[in-house]
Amino acid sequence: MTVEEAGSASEAKAWVEANRSVVEEAYRRFAKTGEWPGAAELQRHFDQRAVPVDVQKAIDSKPSVGQEGRLPHADRLVLAIRHMMWLSSASTLVDLCFEAVVRSVTSYLSETDTPGVTSIELAKETSASGTDLARVYSVLTREHPSPFGGSSQLPDGQWRIEADSRFARRFRDLNSIESFVERQDIIRAEAATEMAALLALPQFRTPLSPYAEPSARVDETAESPEPVLFVSWGRPASKAIARALVPVLESRLPGVEIFFSPTSIEPGADPSRRMFDEGLLRSSALVVVLTSESAESPYVIWETATAWARDQLVIPVFVDIEPGRVPGPLTSKVQGVKFGERSDLDRALNRLAAQFGSPPSPPLSEEEYTQLVAAAEIVLDVDPKLARRALLDQLRGYLARWQVLYESLEGHPSVDERVRLAAEVEQVLGELLRAAVTTGDDPALATALSALAKEATAVRRTRVLLDGGRSFRQLDDGCRSLLERIAALLEP
């Protein structure tokens, strides 16, 4: 099969050709800033130049594929590899992405203990710039299906993306970016076929019985006033974790209805019909909490299979069960996350934020993660050295975000943005300090965090006056010095 014949690539090419000016401008902005532009931002660009383009219409007409459940009026134009491969301006980035795919698969098939690809390796092979490598990371961590699993990024911009054993083997023997997109199509088609077969089994037809009359069904094509995220659970442990997860999701997905049956179904309502008509049929994504008990629940499997079959984004959260023990083909087709890995949960939250067009999700706070663990009644016996490393890794992730925010303020005399940055640093350091004091195993670290938290408080309280810019410079210097001291603490 050639790329011209491949379904998603052919559709993507037709869409790019029909909206080339919008697509090229969106990519130009992404290449420059690392962020995909919003519809309003793009529309203003064309309006200023008197170019008759309807950006929102272009975004809404972008063809979707499985696991990319389209949202009505998404407010950002995000391109995948199958779109960028038709842009000459993106050829370097596309080539780098393909090289990363090949290196990841090669690493998986080798004897290495930690298969994957790193920015350092890619730079040595290709002489790519730091900017290009940052864009590669952004693109590859959004691609699905792909040979990639977990990922991590350091403050200096270096990154690592792990190979996912369930998917990496499916991407062997690729010879071009076209063959990569074609392989994605094959995996999606196989998954859809297997899910259809699963839904046809008698044990998974039972929940559909209340919907025999077509008149009782909702119009699946009607746009809902609010996008929906469906949270699937089964049995007590899974329910407890899901309940604790709901406020975390609500805080990060403004404007999205989180459908959790214990709180979303009113007393006296028909639970089966409410769950199906106003939950599953309206949802654009599904998060399923899988424990050793809930994985056997027919309703959990049915809800998850239904979401997949309807091309919704599905994110399994594995609590005390390995993916291979979950019945059905879903976990061999969908990249899930491990509940015990905080970075995995952060990655899932960011994937959901991207799906619903929400701002990037901040990492889980210590309090949030502690509440999730407590809900699962999991006791973690943590080695003090591992606890210190985990705490510093969390701070390192925050620092990377703060450094980007501070650099973006260069040349902009914004007092409020700098004060907000100092306030966020103060809050996070306070949370990490409480965690360090609770363990009590590293008083030196607790002292260092306490000093930094006090410095952040002082920076936040800086009063900016009309004094020729002296107090503003004091605020700016305070932010820079604070981040430098945090970076020094994290040095080996």
pLDDT at 257 over 70: yes
CB atoms closer than 10 angstroms to residue 105? 22
Cα-only R_g, the chain: 24
CA distance 294 to 422: 43
Contact criterion met (CB below 8 Å) for 319 and 305? no
3 state SS of 118: strand
Query: Would strands 159-163 and 116-118 be described as parallel, antiparallel, or unpaired?
Result: antiparallel
CA distance 421 to 437: 24
CA distance 54 to 349: 31
- In which band, very low, low, confident or very high, does the pLDDT at 222 lie, cut at 50, 70 and 90? very low
pLDDT at 195 over 60: no
CA distance 145 to 168: 10
Report the amino acid identity of residue 47: D
Q: Nearest to residue 45, comparing CAs of 28, 31, 62? A: 28
User: How do the domains of the chain map onto residue ranges?
Assistant: 1-187, 201-375, 384-490
Bridge partners of 160, per DSSP, are 118, 152
Element (H, E) at 32: helix 20-33
Task: Quote the pLDDT of residue 294.
Answer: 75
Bridge partners of 257, per DSSP, are 228
CA atoms within 13 Å, Cβ hemisphere of 341: 13
CB atoms closer than 10 angstroms to residue 59? 23
For the domain made up of 201-375, the CATH class stated in words is alpha beta
Longest dimension (CA), the chain: 77
Bridge partners of 392, per DSSP, are none
Higher pLDDT, 106 or 76: 106
Task: Quote the pLDDT of residue 203.
Answer: 42
CA distance 488 to 492: 9
CB atoms closer than 10 angstroms to residue 88? 7
Higher pLDDT, 441 or 465: 465
CA atoms within 13 Å, Cβ hemisphere of 292: 3
Task: Quote the pLDDT of residue 72.
Answer: 45
**N residues, the chain:** 492
Higher pLDDT, 471 or 210: 471
Which residues, 6 or more positions from 272, have their beta carbon under 8 angstroms from its beta carbon? 207, 210
Higher pLDDT, 368 or 97: 97
Q: Nearest to residue 245, comparing CAs of 101, 95, 348, 328? A: 348
Provide mean pLDDT across the span 51-67.
Answer: 85
What are 106-160's pLDDT values in tens digits?
Answer: 999 999 888 999 999 999 988 899 999 999 998 988 787 888 876 777 777 789 8
- In which band, very low, low, confident or very high, does the pLDDT at 209 lie, cut at 50, 70 and 90? very low
CB atoms closer than 10 angstroms to residue 227? 23
What are 349-404's pLDDT values in tens digits?
Answer: 988 988 888 888 788 888 888 888 777 754 334 456 656 776 787 788 888 888 88
